[in-house]
Chain A
Amino acid sequence: MEPAVQVLPQESIPNGKALLKVEGLVKHFPILRGVIQRSVGAVRAVDGITFDVTAGETFGLVGESGCGKSTAGRTILQLYRPTAGHVWFDGADLTTLKGDDLRRMRRHMQMIFQDPYASLNPRMMISDIVGEPLLVHKTLPRQEIPGRVRELLHLVGLSPTLANRYPHEFSGGQRQRIGVARALALQPRLIICDEPISALDVSIQAQVINLLEDLQNRFNLTYIFIAHDLSMVRHISDRVAVMYLGILVELADRDEIYLNPLHPYSQALLSAVPVADPLVEEHRRRVILEGDVPSPINPPSGCRFRTRCPIAQERCAQEVPEWRELRPDHWVACHFAEGGGII
């Protein structure tokens, strides 16, 4: 039997309009040295990113480890306070909100974390983990919480009879379902999924992805899906942004970015992903990037990708490439994006 889940409150922003606007978002972590903890530099984890997320869509954010995608997600939710920039959610600038005002907004934005082993308190029962947001935000009378928790567990495909168990009694995939149930408890509009499946086995990944898609359709959720698995991002996202060393290098509709990547980094990244088909692999051209990602403490001048870019020129070292809309809804930051890149 389907549980009677409350319908979400009437949204102030209809689907297709921007629910979230990120504007010049910057997050630097200072590097402190010595007894007086003097700041000797900064890890420039996110260094000025701008994008909108439309209500009802899945916005994929991809990049390699250390590119700042997780920091971006956390800074959007104000789990880290940004160094500069603005985050507009449903018309309010989150970066200016504090205390109770911010907490009220947080109800509408939730997060699902990467590691299902570390993100659940091992000393709390599942019913308390899933019910905690309801208790904190006082959206339900206390006596109604257990019933709501059972509904939530049912929604994510777990038996409500498991409510009194502890996290260690569950497998990785089940724990991630618990994380999803907790994120859904307050009926948010936006969920930031930070690598929600990368710790799971392949056969379990598809279960969680299908669950996220079903819940999105049912509750009209908006996702920011942060991942390094480009195949999965293509599968789940409507639009995809590619991050490199703290900045966005390309943003476009899913199919557009996969079929016509314009930035050399996106092109190399996509060509490096193995496809599970020997016949396709036989004929694929692979662009092998040299070297490693530079340190975000001291990123290269001009274009940050130039140290690994096969088509870098003089100009790339001197001028920061402009973030421009080269085709309708297709944004790219490269001086030579018109030239066809490296493919």
Chain B
Amino acid sequence: MIRDLAASPRVLEVTDLATQFKTPDGIVHAVNGVSFHVDQGETLGMVGESGCGKSVTVLSLLRLIPSPPGEILRGQADFLGVDLLKMSPDEIRRVRGGQIAMVFQDPMTSFNPVLTMGRQLTEPLELHLGMTGKQAEERAAELLQMVGIPNAADRLKDYPHQFSGGMRQRVMIAMALSCSPQILIADEPTTALDVTIQAQIIELVKRLRDEIGMAIIWITHDLGIIAGLADRVVVMYGGYIIEHAPVKELYANPLHPYTIGLLGSLPRLDQQKERLTSIEGMPPILLEEPKYCPFAPRCVNVHERCRQENPPLLSVAPQHEVACWVDVRTGRLRV
């Protein structure tokens, strides 16, 4: 599948987004100025380990950060000409679940356990699309059928606990897509699922993406999923985007030592590695204000400059940006 990246209109442009949390231990610098965009119909993979800021980034966009303790410090999020971060609570509520929908990691806690699935599915339809109860119910049954749930009309009367994990995630996706969103944000939607069920869900999302043509932001720590699903990838570390490239370019020529380390630390199903290359040390503690490269303490290529100044995300090849002072191919500083 080849997508012409230049031709699709931009649906979301995020610039210099920064979010902090005030905690008793100090200020957690969760997201420290990230910029990225998504075009219509494309899938952006957002990769990183726990605590790298990927979830906080998208929750900030939808203004779902509890405040206090959270605070969006600065940034813009241009969604079809409007800044999401400047919308009134009423306006953003209309966007959320409507034009921008989200699927969360845990399919059990994302539903209200005391309401039937039908009630939860029809609510956004009535709210965002102004359907009547009967219309909404018919549409809800259609949606369940679309995501491959048998006896859809009967199952609307069931409660969340009567569905299996994979089924719940399907309903979650049906709910997210019910109002034909421009953007679907999926935050580790398959992490809690078994691999055969994960394959079902990914297959389903790919099919629906091609049918509906929405943009997807898929957040995960799994570089395997991203390889088969995304068009472009941003890699996050310590609250920064440290690398950004089209998916094939990123896997073929990773330029940030962290991305290289991450790919090296993965065992492959289709080949036998003698030994995994591990990244020594631990992910950064976000309580310290970042003044230098967040990866410097774990980096094998570290130079003096890395401990003094934080490298900006710079374009180093066509469509390939990296935030690193060092050119990993030569081991020397970039000039």
| A269: interface (CB < 8 Å) | yes
Residue of A nearest to B202 (CB): A274
B267 and A269 contact, CB distance less than 8 A:
no
User: Which residues of chain B are near A64, meaning CB under 8 Å?
Assistant: 194-197
A206 and B278 contact, CB distance less than 8 A:
yes
Complex interface residues of chain B between 252 and 299 (CB less than 8 A to chain A): 252, 261-270, 272-273, 275-280, 282-283
| A232: interface (CB < 8 Å) | yes
Residues of B within 8 A of A (CB): 49-50, 164, 166-167, 194-200, 202-203, 221-228, 247-248, 251-252, 261-270, 272-273, 275-280, 282-283
| A42: interface (CB < 8 Å) | no
Checking B196, B248, B273, B282 against A269 with a beta-carbon cut-off of 8 angstroms, the contacting residue is B196
11 further A-B contacts with Cβ under 8 Å, apart from A202-B222, A275-B224, are A202-B262, A203-B262, A209-B276, A230-B195, A230-B269, A231-B267, A258-B269, A274-B228, A275-B228, A289-B199, A289-B200
Q: Interface code A185-220, partner B: CB below 8 Å = 1, 0 otherwise?
A: 000000000000000011111110110010000000
A225–chain B nearest beta-carbon distance, Å: 12
In the bound complex, what is the Cα–Cα distance between A142 and B17 (angstroms)?
Answer: 57
B267 and A232 contact, CB distance less than 8 A:
yes
| A272: interface (CB < 8 Å) | yes
Residue of A nearest to B148 (CB): A290
In the bound complex, what is the Cα–Cα distance between A105 and B85 (angstroms)?
Answer: 63
- Given A206-B276, A288-B200, A273 and B269 contact (CB-CB distance below 8 Å): yes
- Given A234-B267, A235-B267, A275-B270, A292 and B197 contact (CB-CB distance below 8 Å): yes
A292 and B167 contact, CB distance less than 8 A:
yes
B227 and A275 contact, CB distance less than 8 A:
yes
A288 and B203 contact, CB distance less than 8 A:
yes
In the bound complex, what is the Cα–Cα distance between A278 and B248 (angstroms)?
Answer: 6
In the bound complex, what is the Cα–Cα distance between A255 and B166 (angstroms)?
Answer: 30
- Given A234-B267, A278-B248, A286-B199, A206 and B228 contact (CB-CB distance below 8 Å): no
B195 and A207 contact, CB distance less than 8 A:
no
In the bound complex, what is the Cα–Cα distance between A35 and B8 (angstroms)?
Answer: 66
A276 and B223 contact, CB distance less than 8 A:
yes
Residue of B nearest to A265 (CB): B196
User: Which residues of chain A are near B252, meaning CB under 8 Å?
Assistant: 279
- Can you report 27 residue pairs joining A to B where beta carbons are below 8 Å apart? A64-B196, A64-B197, A65-B194, A201-B49, A202-B223, A202-B262, A203-B49, A203-B261, A203-B283, A204-B282, A206-B276, A206-B277, A207-B279, A210-B276, A228-B195, A230-B195, A231-B224, A231-B267, A234-B269, A235-B267, A276-B224, A276-B226, A276-B227, A276-B266, A277-B268, A279-B252, A286-B203
B272 and A206 contact, CB distance less than 8 A:
no
B49–chain A nearest beta-carbon distance, Å: 4
- Given A210-B275, A213-B275, A276 and B263 contact (CB-CB distance below 8 Å): yes
| A158: interface (CB < 8 Å) | no
In the bound complex, what is the Cα–Cα distance between A64 and B200 (angstroms)?
Answer: 14
User: Which residues of chain B are near A93, meaning CB under 8 Å?
Assistant: none
B80–chain A nearest beta-carbon distance, Å: 29
Which one of B200, B203, B222 has the greatest number of beta carbons of chain A within 10 Å?
Answer: B200
User: Which residues of chain B are near A319, meaning CB under 8 Å?
Assistant: none
A272 and B195 contact, CB distance less than 8 A:
yes
Residues of A within 8 A of B (CB): 64-65, 171, 173, 201-207, 209-210, 213, 228, 230-232, 234-236, 255, 258, 268-282, 284, 286, 288-289, 292-293
A205 and B251 contact, CB distance less than 8 A:
no
Residue of A nearest to B192 (CB): A65
User: Which residues of chain B are near A292, meaning CB under 8 Å?
Assistant: 164, 166-167, 197
B198 and A205 contact, CB distance less than 8 A:
no
Checking B221, B227, B268 against A201 with a beta-carbon cut-off of 8 angstroms, the contacting residue is B221
- Given A210-B278, A292-B197, A278 and B247 contact (CB-CB distance below 8 Å): yes
In the bound complex, what is the Cα–Cα distance between A290 and B50 (angstroms)?
Answer: 31
Checking A204, A231, A281 against B228 with a beta-carbon cut-off of 8 angstroms, the contacting residue is A281
A136–chain B nearest beta-carbon distance, Å: 32
In the bound complex, what is the Cα–Cα distance between A201 and B222 (angstroms)?
Answer: 10
Q: Which 4 pairs between the two chains have the least Cβ-Cβ distance?
A: A274-B224, A281-B228, A235-B267, A206-B265
B93–chain A nearest beta-carbon distance, Å: 34
Checking A201, A278, A289 against B283 with a beta-carbon cut-off of 8 angstroms, the contacting residue is A201
User: Which residues of chain A are near B224, meaning CB under 8 Å?
Assistant: 231, 273-276
A269 and B276 contact, CB distance less than 8 A:
no
A269 and B203 contact, CB distance less than 8 A:
no
A289 and B248 contact, CB distance less than 8 A:
no
A173 and B282 contact, CB distance less than 8 A:
yes
User: Which residues of chain A are near B49, meaning CB under 8 Å?
Assistant: 201-203
User: Which residues of chain B are near A236, meaning CB under 8 Å?
Assistant: 267
In the bound complex, what is the Cα–Cα distance between A280 and B228 (angstroms)?
Answer: 8
User: Which residues of chain B are near A281, meaning CB under 8 Å?
Assistant: 227-228
User: Which residues of chain A are near B221, meaning CB under 8 Å?
Assistant: 201-202
User: Which residues of chain B are near A286, meaning CB under 8 Å?
Assistant: 199, 203
A276 and B203 contact, CB distance less than 8 A:
no
User: Which residues of chain A are near B194, meaning CB under 8 Å?
Assistant: 64-65, 228, 293
User: Which residues of chain B are near A289, meaning CB under 8 Å?
Assistant: 196, 199-200
User: Which residues of chain A are near B262, meaning CB under 8 Å?
Assistant: 202-203
Residue of B nearest to A270 (CB): B269
Checking A228, A270, A276, A284 against B268 with a beta-carbon cut-off of 8 angstroms, the contacting residue is A276
